[in-house]
Structure 1
Amino acid sequence: MSPLATGRQQSNGKAGDNSGTDAVPQREERDYTVRAVQRVCAILNLLQESIDGVPLPVLAAETGLPKSSAFRYLWTLENHRYVERDPDTGLFRLGLGFVGMQSRHLEVLRERARPWLEHLRDEHDESANLGLLDGDRIIYLDIVESKRGVRLAAKRGDRDPLHSTALGKAIAAHMDTDRVKELLEQSGMEQRTPNTITNIDTYLDELAKVRRVGYAVDNGENELDGRCVAVPILGTRLPAAVSLSAPSARFTVQDVERAAAALQHVAEQLGTTHGSDDVPSGG
């Protein structure tokens, strides 16, 4: 983020003296810096340089702010989703409010994920998906559809609820609990099928299970005859996940664990800075 520039205003000089010598134009320097904005920029600049997050004492020391003042700035930015606090470590990092501004990061992720999605599709013969949290819903950034005549697949750009999808669960499991509650209250937790979780506490219990096993499952919760398994892409600044989806009659509960292992491998590659050397050529 660029530092706030200092504004300058130039005043025009008038005619010279009686000797005919032109007067030198006068420059009047004015500082238009807004102190509060300058402090916000300093905080955001520091956070964007960190992947894991920054503790409050370090942030206060680096920006020259008292801890109480730094906390008030962070609290305000958190309310507007530009900053988030890890509930376990207490570290502050950039929040989801910047996701819509990171179009280049999204495109890079999509480009890197495409061959992996094709590999997943060919290996499992089912639809592979790349999803991102956008507001209180999941948006499909990319989809590689199964080649089978009967398949379960959304379309790129489609949006689905956070609470009823495996992609949503995988992403929400690694978010701040209060933020998850806020999103669920905002979305309303519509009952898409008889299997949909519509209670916040039950959903939070489900997220605890996701964290424990390392993957999320949608068992006919978004589409009655569908099943989906998803794994979060950690190590990026984007709330994203990859998944495999199929008709439940063909994609059995026994298939889930094998699919989850494959998705975890893909997510690990996409979550690293440069990926690995064994990126598939696609299919």
Structure 2
Amino acid sequence: MSADHPVADLAEPPALAPPKSAGGGVQSLERAFAILETMADAGGVISLSQLANDAQLPLPTIHRLVRTLVDLGYVRQEASRQYSLGPRLIRLGETTSRMVSRWARPHMERLAHELGESVNLAMLDGDQVVYIGQVMASRNSMRMFTEVGRRVLPHSTGVGKAIMADMDPEAVRAILARTGMPAGTEHTITDPEAFAAELGRTRERGYALDEGEQEVGVRCVAVAIPGSPQPLALSVSGPLPRMTDAFIESATTPMHAVAAAISAEMRGATS
């Protein structure tokens, strides 16, 4: 090889690194996740033009990123030409739910030991509440509807009320319009205005109550997990004779402490 053609000249040019955002991250990744979060905020289904408007990105950029997400299975195009969250997100969501339950479990165990009643962790998944964690109190265990994996409508549960009390009222009304408000028991609130008033009381006192609205004879007190990226709530439930007003009054302070600890645990795991 002659000196006129050094090896360095024949080597392929180095690949260009993906553009970085001002914060040091990869811009295309940040935008892709912004798209997924915007779709989730819109209920999971959205038009391309609304997506561009809500995500505050140029339409050609949105189109290119969405097509990539469609090819990967994280977004799908509907017959209406709108776009929805895709099936490949299901596995990620299920795994994340298990991880959240794992991070929360030591704190839930401490609370169950202190209060002597079952402790549950639930999240809002679409228009339903799904229970993702539970610790049974060994000395007072009883089988209840709050089993891990169980899905219920949020209006008839303490965890649902705790979550919805922190939501925009319009978003709450939209969920109730889609699901209806069927009565689980004779105690279930089935009127939207009465439910809105109950959410107001929940905000004022800092905790939600399920007064036998999902299962007769079972009372539940619930608090939201603050600062959670996915709406989460913690509850303590038990038979009505044990879940007295005095018990609930004494339970709410340690429940808020555990909710804050779970929130901190999640932030630490994602930082």
The TM-score, its normalising length taken from structure 1, stands at: 0.63
Q: Are 1:215 and 2:207 counterparts?
A: yes
**In structure 1, the residue corresponding to 2:185 is in which secondary structure?**
coil
Structure-2 change in CA distance of 1:204 and 1:99 (3 Å): farther
Q: Map 1:158-169 onto structure 2 (within 5 A).
A: 158-169=150-161
Range moving further from structure 2, 147-156 or 190-199: 147-156
The one of 220, 224, 228 equivalent to 1:232 is 224
Residue 174 of structure 1 corresponds to 166
Shift of 1:108: 2.6
Unaligned runs of 5+ in 1: 1-39, 66-78, 83-97, 276-283
Letter in 2 for 1:200: P
Residue 15 of structure 1 corresponds to none
**In structure 2, the residue corresponding to 1:234 is in which secondary structure?**
coil
Give, in whole Å, the separation in 2 of the partners of 1:80 and 1:130: 31
Unaligned runs of 5+ in 2: 1-27, 42-51, 60-81
**In structure 1, the residue corresponding to 2:155 is in which secondary structure?**
coil
8 Å contact 1:99–1:238 — kept in the other structure?
Answer: no
**In structure 2, the residue corresponding to 1:179 is in which secondary structure?**
helix
Give, in whole Å, the separation in 2 of the partners of 1:42 and 1:142: 30
Give, in whole Å, the separation in 2 of the partners of 1:263 and 1:192: 26
The one of 255, 262, 266 equivalent to 1:270 is 262
Which structure: larger Rg? 1
8 Å contact 2:217–2:239 — kept in the other structure?
Answer: yes
Shift of 1:232: 0.7
Residue 177 of structure 2 corresponds to 185
Give, in whole Å, the separation in 2 of the partners of 1:122 and 1:182: 38
Query: Matched residue pairs, number?
Result: 206
> Residues 135-188 of structure 1: CA distance to partner in whole angstroms, max 9, x if unpaired?
222111011112245635332111222011100001111122222112212222
Residue 23 of structure 2 corresponds to none
Q: Map 1:1-283 onto structure 2 (within 5 A).
A: 44-46=32-34, 60=56, 63=57, 101-148=92-139, 151=142, 153=144, 154-272=146-264, 273-274=267-268
Give, in whole Å, the separation in 2 of the partners of 1:255 and 1:265: 16
Give, in whole Å, the separation in 1 of the partners of 2:245 and 2:190: 22
Structure-2 change in CA distance of 1:107 and 1:202 (3 Å): same
Give, in whole Å, the separation in 1 of the partners of 2:84 and 2:202: 24
Percent of residue pairs identical: 33
**In structure 1, the residue corresponding to 2:268 is in which secondary structure?**
coil
Give, in whole Å, the separation in 2 of the partners of 1:46 and 1:226: 41
Give, in whole Å, the separation in 2 of the partners of 1:221 and 1:58: 37
Residue 17 of structure 1 corresponds to none
The TM-score, its normalising length taken from structure 2, stands at: 0.65
Kindly report the root-mean-square deviation, in angstroms, between the aligned alpha carbons of the 2 structures. Answer: 3.4
Q: Which has the higher helix share?
A: 2
Give, in whole Å, the separation in 1 of the partners of 2:195 and 2:90: 24
